[in-house]
Amino acid sequence: MEKSEILSMFDDLLELDAGTLKGDESLAELNWNSLAIIGFIAMADEKYQIALSPKDIINAKTINELIGLINN
Amino acid sequence: MKGIRISGIASAIPKGKRTLKDDEKIFGIEETTKISSSTGVKTRYIVKDGECTSDLCFTAAKALLSQLEVPTSSIDALILVTQTPDYILPATSCVLHDRLGLSKSCITFDVNLGCSGYIYGLWLAANIISSGTLSRILFLAGDTISRLISPSDRSVSSLFGDAGTATIIEKTDDESSQMIFSLGTDGKGKDQLIVPAGGFRYPKMQKTSERSMRKDNNFRSDEDLYMNGPEIFSFSLREIPPLINTLLDETQWSVSDVDAFIFHQANGFMLRHLMRRLKIPAEKFILALSEYGNTSSASIPLAMTHDLSRRITGKETIKLLLSGFGVGYSWGGVTIKCGANLVLPKLTILD
């Protein structure tokens, strides 16, 4: 689970150019809406076979915190 | 359960068509494109004032009974699954009993379920027939969810459509005809898909009809449908793959044995994800929501009206797997093996 690999998946999810996100971005300043949350849950399921809970996702404030949900 | 078959399925939709152009007027082109490419919905059909669930189900029932040449006197029971009845009381199945001219010995009742409703209705009908008392059941499933939607709530406004359907289930001498069910519930999910006000827990009053901006950035009142997309998606991933695998095991089928998979047409993104996760080939997975949207309890039979015929021509028996899941949370699945002489009238439009 390379961080750069996960970051580029978030770039994709948020329709940003590859390599845009670094991890410390605040979700409140990105287009982090329910479509993005659903996309993230799907990504975690498909690529990492991890079941994420929406409650944990909603508590995250930055991209790094979201990455933490996959890496833990 | 053996010796039970589905003889026919028919569906009806209202005339009123909504398209992406209508959505663009409210949400703009960019937002509409984003939502539509996620939900997969391009058009849906909406009732106008004066058009109710019973009208849609009646239209479907007439088309089916006529094509099957089934006399109304031979119908032993009428089951109506709906979350949007014509009245709080009496049961809308009684209203339909009168309109269809059914006999006084006919048993009728309503069942309040949505996404899982079609599976539960089949289960009820199959169990009733299995118990030996009745032979032929008219099972209607329909909803007018559009009546519960706030037009400016982007999470639901362009997703739902209206429809009514009719299915005849009856006893058959063909012992190879069978249905195997798996059903479940998790009431912890009750708040994730809900119309909060208008029942008796939280009665209607001035403030319940006032629309306001909510935490999820959508504009609705407590009398409008609330749907928590992420929670429902998470629930589907948790419960549905094990459900489908259990069903396939119990039926001793593999994915390749099944002729068609028909899931509740909830949301394109979720369905495509489940299809990939369960390794179901796209050509076996019926999708109808692009045309009709999410039609609640009607979505599974409507999808069959839409695209089952061509898959069963030339076959003697067919093997289907149906699954409905969502509001409640309630879920169910069924494997059906029956004769391919299933009657599927063309889609009817409400007059």
Which ipTM was obtained for this model?
Answer: 0.93
What's the sign of the alpha-carbon dihedral B309, B310, B313, B316?
Answer: negative
Q: Name the residue with tokens 């049961």.
A: B91
Respond yes or no: is residue B115 known to be catalytic: yes
State the pairing for strand pair B77-81/B16-19.
Answer: unpaired
The whole-angstrom separation of Cα A30 and Cα B297 is: 37
For residue B48, the model assigns a pLDDT of: 97
Q: What is the pLDDT of residues A46-70, one digit of tens each?
A: 999 999 999 999 999 999 999 999 8
Q: Which token pair is B41?
A: 């919905």
> How many other C-beta atoms are found inside a 10 Å radius of the C-beta of residue A65?
15
pTM for the complete prediction?
Answer: 0.96
Instruction: Spell out the per-residue pLDDT of chain B, length 351, in tens.
Output: 999 999 999 999 999 999 999 999 999 999 999 999 999 999 999 999 999 999 999 999 999 999 999 999 999 999 999 999 999 999 999 999 999 999 999 999 999 999 999 999 999 999 999 998 899 999 999 999 999 999 999 999 999 999 999 999 999 999 889 999 999 999 999 999 999 999 999 999 999 999 999 988 899 999 999 999 999 999 999 999 999 999 999 999 999 999 999 999 999 999 999 999 999 999 999 999 999 999 999 999 999 999 999 998 889 999 999 999 999 999 999 999 988 889 999 999 998
Cβ contact (<8 Å) for B276 and A46? yes
Q: Who among A37, A45, A46 is closest to B230 (CB)?
A: A37
Establish whether B294 is a catalytic residue.
yes
**Are the C-beta atoms of residues B109 and B76 closer than 8 Å to each other?**
no
CB contact under 8 A, A35 and B273: no
| Distance between CA atoms of residues B204 and B207, nearest Å | 8
129-168 of B, contacting A, C-beta below 8 A = 155
Q: Which helix (H) or strand (E) holds B262?
A: strand B260-263
The residue of chain B with its CA nearest to that of A42 is B273
> Quick check: B234 and A42 CB within 8 A?
no
CB contact under 8 A, A33 and B217: yes
Closest residue on chain A to B278 (Cα): A46
Q: Which of B164, B193, B10 is nearest to B92 (CA)?
A: B164
Side chain identity at residue B39, one-letter code: T
At A1, the pLDDT band (50, 70, 90 cuts) reads low
CA distance A53 to chain B (A): 7
